[in-house]
Amino acid sequence: MDDRSRVPIRFGEFVALSAAMMSTQAIAIDAMLPAFPAIVGALKVGNPNHGQWIVTTYMAGLGTGQLVWGLLSDRFGRRPIVLGGMCLYVVAALVCGMTRSFEALLAWRFVHGLAAASATVVRSIVRDLYSGRPMARVLSLTFVVFLMVPVVAPSLGQAILWMASWRYIFFACAMFASIVWLYALLRLPETLHPQYRLPLDPSHILRAVRIVVLNRISMFYTLATTALFGALIAYVGMVQQIFSDVFHRPGIMPLMFALCAGFMGVAAFTNSRLVGRLGMRLISHTAILVFIAISVLHVTIAALGWEQLWTFVVLQAATMATFSLSVSNFGAMAMEPVGAVAGVGASLQGCISTGSAAILAAVIGREFNGTTLPLAIGSLCCGLVAPGFVLAAERGRLFRQQHAGSG
């Protein structure tokens, strides 16, 4: 239901606030990327590949936390859960910046991710207010603003490293989250009507979980998102090592990372303009096929030893653009049938996709061997799995037409 009158802020401000809350998740990953070598050295980590755990433990917490926050938001409303989770985020970020061992850092990174997961309640807020193609448009616009963080965060992290210790990157995350928390405190409305709040008893929770898990569209599009998200997390976890060990140009990593994120943003904006006319299925199904084609080309180039800096950046930027066109629509379609339990729906879908994707990324990341081939093969495998889930969701047919309001 498109019910903007229930939101006491303008549409543009609502999108910006939603994106800012979601961006607290991204900045905690992307700003850290230039600091991996410094952290590994300062905390005396023996295996450089273990630096990727700074991302994967955070993502594990992010996946786990979504289920908890979603259940609580269905019971107590969206606003208090988002505000409470962001307070915990600030505390965790500050403690991460003060840890003295790699093990303690990983433990608090898990808590950091757990707290950051509260921002995924934003998807429930959007679902409270929108459905069908309008929901896909809102999510795409939110994604555009959200992607400004990957564009600037690595450069921010690099700038902090030039002036201070890597610990101050965590302090910067805490400061950013504090500003967003204050903005949300002043402007975020409560979107869950009291009559739709669910009690926290096992029967109601089980009913909500069954709606989410047993719905074909909800579950299989969530699994398709999981496969593609695994490729994205693997890229994020490996990108610093690739620019350092493969291309020997660590200094340009923030700029190239921003370029790839920029392509994602352009794709998300394009989706927001076209989805109302073309529909979610046409755009996302085409994008996943293009994703596979690009991944095949990348594997071929890497396997033959033809990989250059420019080929990697171009192919990765194209891959990220098709990822954006696929996942933004997959997420909207997965949420469409679970509006009655939007909090549990968003949280359970997020828990499955984020947690499982973190495992996929860890498997891909451990294969890093000083070339781009493991990443290219990992992306191709993820890309080949995703259409199988899409076909299962659509009863064996791609590009299936829906009525204009839904897909």
d(CA 114, CA 109): 8
- Residue carrying structure tokens 């757990």: 114
Token output for 375: 């990443």
Residues in Cβ contact with 19 at an 8 Å cutoff, skipping those fewer than 6 apart: 141, 142, 143, 144, 145, 146, 148
- pLDDT, residue 404, reads 46
Buried b (16+ CB within 10 A) or exposed e, 150-173: bbbbbbbbbbbbeeeebbbbbbbb
If you write DSSP's letter for every residue of 310-350 in order, what string do you get?
HHHHHHHHHHHHHHHHHHHHHHHHHHGGGGGGHHHHHHHHH
CA distance 160 to 167: 9
Q: For position 281, what pLDDT does the model report?
A: 92
CATH superfamily of 9-188+198-393: MFS general substrate transporter like domains (1.20.1250.20)
For the chain of 407 residues, list the mean pLDDT of each consecutive stretch of 10.
51 85 90 90 84 87 85 88 96 96 95 93 81 73 70 86 95 96 91 80 79 90 93 88 92 87 85 85 94 97 95 94 90 82 75 85 89 96 95 88 54
Are the C-beta atoms of residues 16 and 143 closer than 8 Å to each other?
no
Q: Quick one: which of 84, 81, 97 has its CA closest to 28? A: 97
What pLDDT score does 348 carry?
A: 82
- First vs last Cα of the chain: how many Å apart? 15
**Residues 6+ positions from 253 with CB-CB distance below 8 Å:** 33, 34, 154, 239, 240, 243, 244
Contact 365, 52 (CB under 8 A): yes
CA gap 144, 268 in Å, rounded? 6
The amino acid that residue 188 corresponds to is L
CA distance 358 to 232: 10
Packing angle between helix 102-116 and helix 78-96, nearest 10 degrees? 160
Query: What is the distance between the alpha carbons of residues 132 and 70, in angstroms, rounded to a whole number?
Result: 21
The predicted structure's pLDDT at residue 95: 97
- Give the other-Cβ count within 10 Å of 5's Cβ: 7
Residue boundaries of the structural domains of the chain:
9-188+198-393
Show Cβ contacts of residue 248 under 8 Å, excluding neighbours closer than 6 positions: none
d(CA 108, CA 121): 22
**In the block, residue with structure tokens 């669910």:** 198
